[in-house]
Structure 1
Amino acid sequence: MNKSELVEKIANDVDISKASADRALSSAIAHIIKAISKGGDVQLIGFGTFKSGKRAARMGRNPQTGAEIKIPASKTVKFTAGKAFKDAVNKRK
């Protein structure tokens, strides 16, 4: 499923226009990104938790030449699925 398909499903579920659903989804995504960028967490009960994480600097290798390269430290995003989400996924198997 891509964003436009998700927007269509949201619009149908709550009986609003696709434009309104798109604005709502885009706003939610923007606020999640803003919170994580500031180092905070976003917890959506029943779905999961988004957290920021740190990745340490490390040495890597260029796969074509085999030369060692330094990979700088960076921030990353971690997502932990909530219990309800995990249960829903496991029941479908």
Structure 2
Amino acid sequence: MSVDFVVHDADDDVGVVVVEGIEAGQKVTGWIMDQDRTMECEVKSAIPIGHKLAIRDLKEGDAVIKYSVDIGRVVQPIRAGEHLHVHNVKTKRW
């Protein structure tokens, strides 16, 4: 089995893509590290390597959790399988 994205904690909202060429419509496999188990997700938009993939639906105003830490606020709804980046998440620091 190959892994396409990594999730650090089962309570995280995102995984990090670890392979090149993830495209919309592709079914990808993720490894949830803290539980040593896998999950599947259908990608809704192309996601570059090193970028975040939403693994659950998030609504505007939700906190985004990665590494069990709040990393930002959703500024437009994000569906599971979508690219999560600066266009739909903003830091709470500024």
| TM, length-normalised to structure 2 | 0.26
| Higher RCO (CA < 8 A, seq sep 6+) | 2
Structure number with the higher helix fraction is 1
Instruction: Compare the two structures and name the one with the higher strand fraction.
Output: 2
